[in-house]
Structure 1
Amino acid sequence: MKKIKNISAKTILLIGGMVLGFTGCSEDDDNPNTGEPIITSQSLKMDLSQFQKEDAGVFMQAFYWDVEPIGGWYDQVASEIEEWANAGVNRIWLPSPSKGASGEFSMGYDPMDYFDVGEFSQRGSENVETRFGSRQELEDLIQKAHANDIEVIADVVMGHNSGGGLQANPFRGGAEVFTLFNEENGNASGKFNRNFDHFHPNGVVDADEEALFFPETDLSHAVPYVQEWLWGRDDSVAEFYRSLGFDGWRFDYVKSFAPKWVTAWNDKVGGFSVGENFDGNQQVLKDWVDASGSAAFDFACFYRLDETLDRANDLTALGDAGNMLRKLDPSNAVTFTANHDTEKDPNPDNRISYGKKLLAYSYILTHDGYPTVFYLDYQAFKGQLNTLIEIYNTLAVGDVEIIEANKDEYIMKRSGSGDNPGLILYMNISGQTKQRTVQTNWAGKQLVDYTDNSRATPTADAQGNATLSAPPGSYTVWSITKE
């Protein structure tokens, strides 16, 4: 993780939380001098449950790289389902469930036997479970998620394979490659046996698949046999995942196969889907969304946040029009601040530093798009993230209007809808408290910060102007007080 010399946002929030713990008062606290209830910013807040959106919910990435305990991850996730449901999570993303070449140490991204989700002994190992657990534990987890109104999304790795036996490939001049998958070679289930005819190159022309991940062992989706086993047959991989209870799909590294194959998979089995198109160019993401009909992770938004919060230490670029997928196509933009890949990347330019995480979350959990919360981040910032999730599920409605975007400050307004008053986000990355008079939609109304990062309770004038503030290296989210 990146180190920062100044006090981090997390430290500031922790200190603030300690102060609140010692000095905060509830509506029931009485002034010892008068016996009257003390009026605090907490007591002025509206009950946000009245504004619950119809499409409320956030996405939880329910794993990180090299999860522990080995063999017990499904049970660990199951133990947290009710908490996540209460927080406002409506979908969880699980790692690829199929047995990988590295067995109990596999994170699922070296798929070997698509139909082994913790049932078969493979490659001489007596252990039948995946790193995450057994098939029964997986199905129990999915059932518990469904009982708590949470959909479960499977990670679909249909680009590359690993762990097959060696065989000579005539399309590679007779070179030996690991492309033999049968009962004796990494495919104990006996379903979807493969050989060199099903990988690149082969006798079928499929030039539209250009960015191969592992050229020797990337599946060729143009081969009808591969299409049938992945999604076409009634006993395909897609249908098998459906039978386990999965509700949707996260497609891994979609640059290695044509978007039409995602369309074909979704047409066959349906469900929510999102693609990992690892690209910071918003137009590349938009073109893929249009071609596949699927949502995509908003890597453009991720890199803008990393750039502005860390590399440039300048929020100005957040005000640029069209530099994120969520600005071009918010309904198909799955926003995020971290994932299993970014968190293990040694390049600091490919991840948002720990001290800036909450600032990044304040952005994605107040703007449009479908936000993702990363498991480890939730563990680290649970209280603050629960507050932001509640704000996203209630007040984050209406048009997005950028009020200010400069080096130190970013201020954004959501217009609200009907009785829902909307919100104003104020991000401040400077080393001192910032305040600014802005035009609100709340003429004559008293305001309060729903994140508790500020105790101020300003009142908008007759024209809607109000002086809002944000602490150093932190954020505030403003809306009206209760009547």
Structure 2
Amino acid sequence: MSEPWNGKVVFEGFWWNCWNSNYPHDWYTYLAKLAPRLAAMGFDGIWTPPPCKDTNAEANMGYTPYDYYDIGQKNQKGQMWTRFGTMDAFLRLVAVAHANGLEVYPDMVLDHCAGGDPDPSSPFQTDNQQYTSFQPVGYAGAHTGRWQRNWLDFHFNPVHWHPTVEWTPTASNSFGSDFCYQGRCSDSGNADANCASRQNVRAWFTWFVKQTGVDGFRFDDVAGFPPEVVEDILYNAMGGGLRYFAVGEYVTDSQATVDGWASDTLNRCGTFDYPLRFALAAMVQSGGFYDVGSLPSQQQSNRFKTVPFVSNHDTADDTIGPALDPDNPRTALAYAVAMTVDGSPQLYYEDLFRNVSPWKDGTTAAAIPSRAWLENLVWCHQKLGFKTGDYFVRYQNSQQLLILERGARAIVAINNDGSSWHDGWVSTAFFPNTQLHDYTGTCPGNVWTNADGWFHVNQPPLSYSVWGNEGVTGGFDLAGRRTVQQFEMDDDLGDSTTNFGYGGKAVADGFRVAGAIWPAAGSEVNVVVYADGPEDVSVEMLTSGGAVLEAANGAVPLALSAAIEVEGRYVLRAKVSAAGAAPARLYVKVDYLGPAESALF
């Protein structure tokens, strides 16, 4: 919905220990049900929790991942699904989001992993450092899964024995086995930049993007490993272009630090603007004693992919404080600034929605109430086209009044004074004698720019206003789109012991299941099967009842199309055709339209 591409409005779709008793261990389905409502509000994308299997499958939030290739389809660490659902549910969420014109940005945890077994080859045989043997399950059985790891993949190892200020764990900052990606992350500062860890994370990330069809990413704790790792995997998975959402969490009040990190990724990834967030939080907590004119100078300078924000799951529980009450009127002022400055603003679940009893632990997508003022700010950002206009700081000569402009699109004013009105004249990019309307409803009546294009703002106490061309109305047209996902069939992927039984090389003596999709009724599904070399294969699409809907046989690349009359789960399976043929790795690529809404899940 937004324009330009780096001016999106992003919804963080979870809070710490999020839970919905109506969708137990199925948060993905709740988000899928919420997608039409978010799209109608004007959002562009959903930041989802980490998708990979954690050390405790059902309980943990995904920030201590065990098996990166397990996104809810392997029976390990206590369960097949994750806290948030199965792989099927995640892929369906992506398709439903796309059908609503939304993008999906999963949380990527690449600094560390956890849940390994004691590593007999490691010199560290005490405390937690001994748990560095990772041998996840694969289709071929226990300990056959892809991306196995040992102590040489982590800190500390012969290439990086000695702790440094950057990229190595400390007693107060250790969340499991800490990856060593070598290169600059080494004692020499110039070790093998294509070491096993780097090769494996690159291969996994590329697999994940193809498997899921996601659109962008949030990278966790990027201070813990070299920025060139993020640059590497984004280039290999997303190509040479830059027009996609990617943001790293680098917690610092140093503008130079976040600017430098983003630049070191060659601007493939931006950062959350923590320096600005700390300033906004100080304003909210000041009780009116804060120089709001200083706020623009607190922004980071590299804003190519910057993400301004007010709250997230870490600030809300004071992990990275301070926590801000969304019903504090100064929090609304902070959001008005964060929405107006350059970047793709991120809104937090518990700020947009009233996440309190009786809705907190059990609600429907339609039932949980939202905060109307925050919905209105999203509407203003999108309908007035904030980020299509240049950014101007028009007035900062007062400690209480700040006036910003998005060139000829919107004028945004905040008054931090709890008892007095404040006013000011500002030059604008609007034409002379232009009628402007405050779309927040704070200032009734319209006001015109004068003959020179200047505008007078008279702002009530403890409030904000958003002025734009008079007469803008309406909601948002849903620009739904199709989803492309690719299922790789190999013996070190999937799990043959689960009900789904995904994975395994294609064999001649029977079909194996590549994956499943959830297309909309009245749509068409297009499938193409590839292999690493010449192969004759058979592919089938099955209905939820197990009947063969469509089938195809022949040499790869082999295409199949199917008309979908009934919405639901459809299974794709394949085999090699020639009797006695050797098992073959296949890639089953599917292009389909998910349902924008559904009564079936």
TM, length-normalised to structure 2: 0.65
Q: Which residue matches 1:67?
A: 18
1:179 aligns with 2:139: no
For residues 463-474 of structure 1, what are the structure 2 equivalents within 5 Å?
Answer: 463-474=452-463
Q: Which residue matches 1:307?
A: 282
The answer to whether the Cα contact below 8 Å between 2:341 and 2:391 also exists between their aligned partners in 1 is: no
Q: Deviations along 1:278-302, whole A, 9 cap, x unmatched?
A: 1121110000011112111111111
Distance in 1 (alpha carbons) for counterparts of 2:399 and 2:315: 25
Residue in structure 1 matching 2:401, options 395, 409, 413: 409
Distance in 2 (alpha carbons) for counterparts of 1:111 and 1:188: 17
Distance in 1 (alpha carbons) for counterparts of 2:33 and 2:410: 34
Q: Deviations along 1:373-393, whole A, 9 cap, x unmatched?
A: 111211145422222122222
Deviation at 1:315, TM superposition (A): 4.3
Deviation at 1:216, TM superposition (A): 6.2
The answer to whether the Cα contact below 8 Å between 1:282 and 1:322 also exists between their aligned partners in 2 is: no
Residue in structure 2 matching 1:434, options 418, 421, 425: 421
Deviation at 1:263, TM superposition (A): 0.8
Q: Secondary structure at the match of 2:180?
A: coil
Single out whichever of 168-177 and 370-379 deviates more from structure 2: 168-177
Q: Which residue matches 1:104?
A: 58
The answer to whether the Cα contact below 8 Å between 2:391 and 2:404 also exists between their aligned partners in 1 is: no
Distance in 2 (alpha carbons) for counterparts of 1:362 and 1:218: 38
Q: Deviations along 1:47-78, whole A, 9 cap, x unmatched?
A: xx9xx745463111111111112412101100
Q: Which residue matches 2:392?
A: 400
Distance in 1 (alpha carbons) for counterparts of 2:252 and 2:36: 34
The answer to whether the Cα contact below 8 Å between 1:115 and 1:189 also exists between their aligned partners in 2 is: no
Distance in 1 (alpha carbons) for counterparts of 2:445 and 2:319: 40
1:246 aligns with 2:214: yes
Specify the code of the residue in structure 2 equivalent to 1:385.
Answer: L
Residue in structure 2 matching 1:85, options 13, 22, 39: 39
For residues 336-351 of structure 1, what are the structure 2 equivalents within 5 Å?
Answer: 336-345=309-318, 349-351=321-323
Q: Quick one: structure 1 residues 168 and 130, their matched pair in 2 at CA, closer, same or farther if it must change by over 3 Å?
A: same
Q: Deviations along 1:336-379, whole A, 9 cap, x unmatched?
A: 111111111167x5233331322111111122211111112111
The answer to whether the Cα contact below 8 Å between 2:437 and 2:468 also exists between their aligned partners in 1 is: yes
Residue in structure 2 matching 1:287, options 240, 247, 260: 260
Distance in 2 (alpha carbons) for counterparts of 1:333 and 1:139: 27
Deviation at 1:246, TM superposition (A): 1.7
Distance in 2 (alpha carbons) for counterparts of 1:189 and 1:450: 59
Q: Deviations along 1:242-283, whole A, 9 cap, x unmatched?
A: 312222221110111001111111111015321111112111
Q: Which residue matches 2:333?
A: 359
Residue in structure 2 matching 1:203, options 158, 167, 180: 158
Q: Which residue matches 2:555?
A: none
Q: Deviations along 1:204-226, whole A, 9 cap, x unmatched?
A: 24877534342861011127221
Q: Percent identity?
A: 25
Specify the code of the residue in structure 2 equivalent to 1:99.
Answer: K
Residue in structure 1 matching 2:198, options 227, 231, 234: 227
1:265 aligns with 2:239: no
Kindly tell me the number of residue pairs found equivalent between the two proteins. 420
For residues 211-222 of structure 1, what are the structure 2 equivalents within 5 Å?
Answer: 211-212=168-169, 213-214=173-174, 217-222=177-182
The answer to whether the Cα contact below 8 Å between 1:437 and 1:465 also exists between their aligned partners in 2 is: no
Q: Which residue matches 1:115?
A: 69
Q: Quick one: structure 1 residues 133 and 482, their matched pair in 2 at CA, closer, same or farther if it must change by over 3 Å?
A: closer
Q: Deviations along 1:134-183, whole A, 9 cap, x unmatched?
A: 11111110011112222211211111111111235645477652111114
Cα RMSD, aligned residues only: 2.8
Distance in 2 (alpha carbons) for counterparts of 1:119 and 1:87: 33
Specify the code of the residue in structure 2 equivalent to 1:180.
Answer: S
Q: Quick one: structure 1 residues 292 and 465, their matched pair in 2 at CA, closer, same or farther if it must change by over 3 Å?
A: closer
Q: Secondary structure at the match of 1:149?
A: coil
The answer to whether the Cα contact below 8 Å between 2:114 and 2:175 also exists between their aligned partners in 1 is: no
The answer to whether the Cα contact below 8 Å between 2:415 and 2:422 also exists between their aligned partners in 1 is: no
Single out whichever of 380-389 and 195-204 deviates more from structure 2: 380-389
Q: Which residue matches 2:360?
A: none
Q: Quick one: structure 1 residues 135 and 405, their matched pair in 2 at CA, closer, same or farther if it must change by over 3 Å?
A: farther
Q: Secondary structure at the match of 1:432?
A: coil
- Once superposed, which parts of structure 1, at least 4 consecutive aligned residues long, lie more than 6 Å away? none
Q: Quick one: structure 1 residues 107 and 216, their matched pair in 2 at CA, closer, same or farther if it must change by over 3 Å?
A: closer
Q: Which residue matches 1:129?
A: 81
The answer to whether the Cα contact below 8 Å between 1:179 and 1:217 also exists between their aligned partners in 2 is: yes
1:329 aligns with 2:302: yes
Distance in 2 (alpha carbons) for counterparts of 1:451 and 1:146: 30
TM, length-normalised to structure 1: 0.80
Q: Which has the higher helix share?
A: 1
